[in-house]
Amino acid sequence: MKINWKLWISIVLLAFSVWVLWPSFNWAIMSVEKREQAEKEKDPILGKLLKLGLDLKGGTHLLLEIDASRLDGSVKIKDAVDRAIEIIRNRIDQFGVTDPMIAKQGDKWIVVQLPGIRDPKAAKDLIGKTALLEFRIENTSEEAKRALDLIYEKKITPAQYRENPSLYPDIKAVMPEGASVFETKRDVIYCVLDKALLTGAVLANAKVEFGGEYQHGMVVSVEFNKDGGRIFEHITERNIGKNLAIVLDDVVQSAPVIRAKISRGEKAVIEGNFNSDEAKLLAAVLRAGALPAPVKLIEERTVGPSLGDDSIKKGFMSSFIGVILVFLFMFIYYRSSGLIADLALALNLIILMAIMTYFQFTLTLPGVAGIALMLAMSVDANVLILERIREELAAGKTVRVAVDMGYQKVFWTIFDANFTTLVAAAFLFQFGTGPIKGFAVTLSIGLIVSMFTAVTVTKLIYELLFKENLLLKIKI
């Protein structure tokens, strides 16, 4: 018995598509209340849905600028931007944001798009921290205490004093040499030595643990690499009884007393009355590393769910209307053969959406435009085939011969047209950013699928109809 591979491949692809798209179909018909409940409970169905980009799902768009004035003289701005992109991507990945877009723009700007994140503050806290972690010994001298009293009395912040000490001569007069003032999140001020004994550059890991004296019971434990562990052991051995201030981005997170030497391999603990989200954020930025320089927020936009829903409705409605018009044209102009082409187009769209869902590609509004263009090119392939069959019929060929000759003679024309478009799409994907890549992905996958549906599936339908004697003549 001869196996019809075309038929079996088509059946497998259709079954695969239905299986992959079924959760998305259920989600589409689900009520708003049930969707909100599923998102709140983190239902497993969320991981099986078609991923939507910022312009469709809503979220946060940020434009950041590297502060070149704070770079080390040996670091080039290009290298700093590349390093910053890598660190920001690591932070976002560790924080669990899905389908982010992080790209360089110009010489010193970075574009960050976070679909589904509609709280700009959370996004900025995640991305904007320089994450410069320093371990400094607290200065508890009488001079330091007098300086702190004056700062409290004048109701100024440590940052105000550090920016321009000359404005406060009375504080400057008593401030110990080689010391600076920093505050905590609870507005408590510490005077610490200027020299950092250890920095976050020697961290090997950071994670959230339960414990500590604060009400939330959340701490961040840090582990050092080999060199860091040796230095930290030396620091704790020589400063027993002193407070070790743990300073992150000029804010004292905690200042525990060193009660004994902490040997290599043991963990240091950062306490700071963290809640779960704050501890998770701090651990994430410490694991990802410090930015090479602070970043400035140049532009901030929040795309709300209503705008995303509006984009979805309008984008899909326009595509739907276009597809229906094409289907009607093909059926009216080419009759039964046009209906076969319409079936292939429908299968083309279903397989494309299934592939994007299965491989977790993100669909953006430009991606919807790519789908529309792909369908247009798929129609073009079917038109070429049908026009060639019409020519063969006009030349007096039988229906079976006309169909076979029609497919044979236009195959390379269709292949050339699709291949050149695929080359262009490959360049768009390689050198484009988020939305352009979305357009290139949907166009590329769609063209490959359309080659299969236009040349293989439609030919298979004709063969099955001929076999059952259901197609004795064609009206084109």
Q: What is residue 264's predicted lDDT score, i.e. its pLDDT?
A: 67
428 is written with which tokens? 């768009």
> Could you identify the residue written with the tokens 């002193």?
242
Better pLDDT: 434 or 286:
286
Q: pLDDT by residue (tens digit) across 137-168?
A: 999 899 999 999 999 988 898 888 888 888 89
| Cα(262)–Cα(243) distance, integer angstroms | 14
Q: pLDDT by residue (tens digit) across 7-18?
A: 888 888 889 988
Better pLDDT: 470 or 229:
229
- Report the SS3 class of residue 129: coil
264 is written with which tokens? 């290599």
Q: What is residue 145's predicted lDDT score, i.e. its pLDDT?
A: 92
Contacts of 322 (CB under 8 A, 6+ apart): 372, 375
3-state secondary structure 23-63: HHHHHHHCCHHHHHHHHHCCCHHHHHCCEECHHHHCEEEEE
Per DSSP, helices labelled H in 215-304 are 226-238, 276-288
Q: What is residue 1's predicted lDDT score, i.e. its pLDDT?
A: 42
The helix (run of H) or strand (run of E) holding residue 372 is: helix 365-394
CB 352 within 8 A of CB 442: yes
> Could you identify the residue written with the tokens 């326009």?
318
Q: What is residue 175's predicted lDDT score, i.e. its pLDDT?
A: 92
Better pLDDT: 147 or 73:
147
93, 324, 327, 381 from 388: Cα distances, Å = 52, 24, 20, 11
Better pLDDT: 450 or 130:
450
| Cα(175)–Cα(16) distance, integer angstroms | 72
Average pLDDT, whole number, for the chain?
Answer: 81
* Percent of the chain topping pLDDT 70: 86
Beta partners for 219? 209, 271
- Report the SS3 class of residue 323: helix
- Please provide residue 19's backbone torsions phi and psi, each rounded to the nearest 5 degrees: -65, -45
- Report the SS3 class of residue 187: coil
Whole-structure pTM value: 0.59
CB 467 within 8 A of CB 403: no
In this prediction, residues 45-63 reach a mean pLDDT of: 77
Say what angle helices 120-128 and 276-288 make with each other, to 10 degrees.
Answer: 40
pLDDT band per the 50, 70, 90 thresholds, residue 207:
confident
Better pLDDT: 437 or 81:
81
pLDDT band per the 50, 70, 90 thresholds, residue 304:
low
Q: What is residue 404's predicted lDDT score, i.e. its pLDDT?
A: 87
Q: Is the pLDDT of residue 68 over 70?
A: yes
Q: pLDDT by residue (tens digit) across 427-464?
A: 888 877 666 777 888 888 888 888 888 888 888 888 88
Report angle CA 111, 112, 117 to the nearest 5 degrees.
150
| Cα(124)–Cα(105) distance, integer angstroms | 18
pLDDT band per the 50, 70, 90 thresholds, residue 191:
very high
52 is written with which tokens? 């939507």
Least confident of 103-107, 238-242, 334-338, 469-473: 469-473
| Cα(135)–Cα(244) distance, integer angstroms | 7
The sign one gets for the Cα dihedral 399, 401, 404, 405 is negative
465 is written with which tokens? 């109809």
